[in-house]
Structure 1
Amino acid sequence: MLRFAPLALALAGAAALPVAHAGTTFQLDRPQAAPGETVEIRAVFFNDTPSAANWTPARQLVLQWRAPSGQSLRTLAYLAGEPVTSSVPVNNFARMSWRAVVPHGVDGLQAVSIEGEPALLALDVSTRERSPVAGTPALGPIVDVGRPDGTPGTGAPLPPAATAGLGENATVGPAPVAAGSAGQQPYSTAAWEHFRNALSPYEPVYFVVGTRGGTNARFQISLKYRLFQPPVDRPATFHENLYLGYTQTSLWDLDSPSKPFYDTTYNPSLFWMKDNVWQSASQRWFVGMNAGVEHQSNGRDGEESRSFNAFYAQPSLNYRFDGGSTLSFAPRLRKYFAVASENADVADVRGRVAWHLAWAQDDGAMISGLWRDGKGGRDSYQVDVAWPLRDTWLSNMNGYLHLQYVNGYGQSLLDYNVRQPDQFRVGLMLVR
């Protein structure tokens, strides 16, 4: 935040110079939780200094709670992942989150304190699902209690003309849970929390449209589900890095009268994945791993049926730049088995190694390239570029402007051995 000395002092020649600093703000993911439930503390580090700033989030935070008797309780919040140093450019930010269990023995509205940080987080830990604090509407009009300039209040309801367009209603306000949960799920059960915490994006999710050979669209959805959720008080063990994955990629013919789907690839998988298997002392270099077994099929029968299975390993070598971006090299090696007779030569066409190279800013722009080296010159290429829409005239829109270029063999599993004309598509990327 920038802080300026008063103008009067500046005119008098005794002004202080502007002071800029980097700071962190904290907030909770929801306004209400019962004892024993897990809440998420989200932090945003903003750099308002004249130069890039390094931010290393703490592995643990110490939280202070108050029991009804007034006794204080101190517990820990645990970082979601490893504490990697981020180099945050000027006027940019970085995000991180911690998870904490609400302790038993506390009740009512809590002002949760983070030790060492000037932050108080309001959380209603009433044991009732719809507590008077956060679960019910505020009944009553808006009352005149006075102004900050010293004008006394009457204590009476303000007239409708004075409150027109303010709040939700002249006589009743929404419950804080409803008011503070725009775009989020309100108070939820433990079962939903477990499911939501285990589900996350996997491959990029996008929808792009091109016109080469007729108007067509290509879109992809992809999710992964963590099979064993690690506790918040320690890093994940080996089996807690096991996932189920599902990716679906479709080609949609938008030129034909009935707008049919030309082909769809269904790609379920079971894999072990960890983003940070090894990290250098400087924290600039780190190595990740994704290894497992996958199935790909287009769901058809007869001569148009295509399917194969493969074991794969995809190590990734990553480098962090000062500007808050990462360069990643991640070749995927495949060992095919149980290949359908209709596509018996798929290993020769698609190759046994897919070479991936990507550069991505933290929560910003991204460019990635894919090259599959098939035998006999049957190569395929794909380049994706994504730019956050918040940095365009659509500043209040989520997602990324997505440009995609593909060339070579295998734009769909049906045409795995057919060289298609190169195609340029543009659209929306939801997850990169």
Structure 2
Amino acid sequence: MVQPPKQVDASKPLELTLLVSQDDEDEHTYQVPGTIMVSASADMIAPMQIPLAREASNNSNDSSAGQTSLTLKKGEFRKIRYRGMLPERLRGMVRIEPIGIDASPALVMVIRPAPGQPPLAPVPALADAAPMPGADNPAGAPAALDLLNSTRLSFNEPIYFVAGNSGDNASAKFQLSFKFRLFMPEDPRSRGLLDNLYFGYTQFSLWDLSAPSAPFRDTNYRPSLFYYLPDTGLGNGFVSRVALATGLEHESNGRDGVESRSVNTYFIQPTFSFGNLNDYHLTVSPKAYASLGPTSDNPDLGDYRGHVDLKLAYGKPDGWKFATTLRKGQRGNHGSADTQISYPLSRLIPGTAGFLVASYFYGYGESLLTYNQKEHPQFRIGYALWR
């Protein structure tokens, strides 16, 4: 099967091309079916079978209604095209796999342009194609449409487990974080509010390994509802890409009484990338937030956390990465620095995934419970599934 274009206009029939060639025998006759079945599935949508009908060729004896014979001599080949409509419920990244044919599956981005929008531009020939991003421009970034390949359920903030012993205080911390795109539009390029609305969930835990029963010191739960654009289109020769997230977030430790901590915030978080995103590059991501409603559990939270997290990162997708999150309280020297250095585990042990990570925390409030307490500096090492 010839690989179809990466992006297909679903308002038009899907076209798949089979390449039949004869390389071994002097002559061979093939039976070409009038219809083939393909299995098509999208993210979180079960596979469905779709019939594709053969296009009639210039040969008057060929009909797309039924099976026909095709005789090829050694060194000859023939392209046979099949067409059919994709169901409307198939959206986003779709996997196409022929049934009963020894051919590799294909991944295509299904796009249905809205009324009034121009159709997808035809795929250029290889000689006319634009140069690879970043080939001549050190600030070049991958094409924005590459970001459409992400699945509806995806990683959000770093996912890791690290442990260490600092100052006779053995402890571990771990975090889980995911986001889910609530609605997949007909055109994944849409920048509409509902089309880019995400539900996020992050859970962070501190584990006391020194105590006899090794209890959890604190667990913080952080659900959120936010608008997210991985690429706003504001990049230029200096800034490779600008992403934007903004929405509502709740954070609490699920306790009651004097140990209860909770806060509701509105946040806005742009992310600026500098340099070639396929190589070592810098990312700057300030997250500004304001409290919503009463904060009776922790009325002075802003004195220790402030209202802006500054996230800085420098690294390469398949290499080292240095990342730190800085906080500065509104009063005094209150604040914190949470720093990680990571390296792909697969580069050390082939066949593995994830990252080796070393982390260092210094300052106030590693968890919500101790937001107003200065922690002993903590150095830990461990594993990260996402960074």
Give the Å deviation of 1:424: 0.6
Alpha-carbon contact 1:336-1:347 (below 8 Å) kept:
no
Aligned counterpart, 2:47: none
In 1, the alpha carbon distance for the partners of 2:158 and 2:105 equals 35
In 2, the alpha carbon distance for the partners of 1:312 and 1:202 equals 15
Alpha-carbon contact 1:230-1:237 (below 8 Å) kept:
no
Equivalences for residues 279-318 of structure 1 within 5 A: 279-280=234-235, 282=237, 285-318=240-273
Alpha-carbon contact 1:38-1:102 (below 8 Å) kept:
no
* Residue 202 (str. 1) matches residue 156 (str. 2): yes
Letter of the aligned partner of 1:321 in structure 2?
A: N
Change (3 A) 1:247 1:338: same
Aligned counterpart, 1:177: none
- Name the SS for the 1:331 alignment partner: strand
Letter of the aligned partner of 1:380 in structure 2?
A: S
Gaps of 5+ in 2: 7-36, 45-51, 55-65, 69-79, 87-91, 107-149
> Among the aligned pairs, what percent are the same residue?
35
Alpha-carbon contact 2:173-2:207 (below 8 Å) kept:
yes
Alpha-carbon contact 2:278-2:317 (below 8 Å) kept:
no
Aligned counterpart, 1:274: 229
* Residue 99 (str. 1) matches residue 93 (str. 2): yes
* Residue 73 (str. 1) matches residue 29 (str. 2): no
- Residue among 325, 336, 350 paired with 1:395: 350
In 2, the alpha carbon distance for the partners of 1:341 and 1:100 equals 48
In 2, the alpha carbon distance for the partners of 1:214 and 1:289 equals 39
* Residue 265 (str. 1) matches residue 257 (str. 2): no
Change (3 A) 1:280 1:344: closer
* Residue 255 (str. 1) matches residue 210 (str. 2): yes
Change (3 A) 1:290 1:430: same
Gaps of 5+ in 1: 1-23, 28-32, 41-64, 78-97, 112-120, 124-195
Alpha-carbon contact 2:154-2:179 (below 8 Å) kept:
yes
In 2, the alpha carbon distance for the partners of 1:292 and 1:355 equals 17
- Name the SS for the 1:390 alignment partner: helix
- Name the SS for the 1:406 alignment partner: strand
- Name the SS for the 1:341 alignment partner: coil
- Residue among 205, 208, 211 paired with 2:165: 211
Aligned counterpart, 1:418: 373
- Name the SS for the 1:330 alignment partner: strand
Deviations 1:82-117 (CA, angstroms, capped at 9, x unpaired): xxxxxxxxxxxxxxxx934649xx753264xxxxxx
Deviations 1:115-173 (CA, angstroms, capped at 9, x unpaired): xxxxxx358xxxxxxxxxxxxxxxxxxxxxxxxxxxxxxxxxxxxxxxxxxxxxxxxxx
- Name the SS for the 1:428 alignment partner: strand
Deviations 1:243-293 (CA, angstroms, capped at 9, x unpaired): 000000000011222111010110000001111102435596211101011
Between structures 1 and 2, the one with greater strand share: 2
Aligned counterpart, 2:139: none
Alpha-carbon contact 1:39-1:100 (below 8 Å) kept:
yes
- Name the SS for the 2:351 alignment partner: coil
Aligned counterpart, 2:115: none
Change (3 A) 1:66 1:390: farther
Aligned counterpart, 2:189: 235
Aligned counterpart, 1:108: 100
Give the Å deviation of 1:36: 4.9
The number of residues matched between the two structures is 274
- Name the SS for the 2:231 alignment partner: strand
Change (3 A) 1:76 1:330: farther
Deviations 1:175-209 (CA, angstroms, capped at 9, x unpaired): xxxxxxxxxxxxxxxxxxxxx94211000000000
Alpha-carbon contact 1:110-1:122 (below 8 Å) kept:
no
Change (3 A) 1:69 1:416: farther
- Name the SS for the 2:360 alignment partner: strand
Letter of the aligned partner of 2:377 in structure 1?
A: D
- Residue among 333, 346, 356 paired with 1:377: 333
In 1, the alpha carbon distance for the partners of 2:101 and 2:288 equals 53
TM, length-normalised to structure 1: 0.58
Aligned counterpart, 2:201: 246
In 2, the alpha carbon distance for the partners of 1:265 and 1:203 equals 14
- Residue among 37, 41, 55 paired with 1:37: 41
In 2, the alpha carbon distance for the partners of 1:223 and 1:371 equals 22
TM, length-normalised to structure 2: 0.64
Aligned counterpart, 2:295: 340
Aligned counterpart, 1:349: 304
Change (3 A) 1:424 1:308: same
Aligned counterpart, 2:29: none
- Name the SS for the 1:303 alignment partner: helix
- Name the SS for the 2:304 alignment partner: helix
In 1, the alpha carbon distance for the partners of 2:53 and 2:236 equals 40
Change (3 A) 1:234 1:398: closer
Change (3 A) 1:417 1:289: same
Aligned counterpart, 1:156: none
In 2, the alpha carbon distance for the partners of 1:39 and 1:109 equals 23
Letter of the aligned partner of 1:381 in structure 2?
A: A
Letter of the aligned partner of 2:101 in structure 1?
A: L
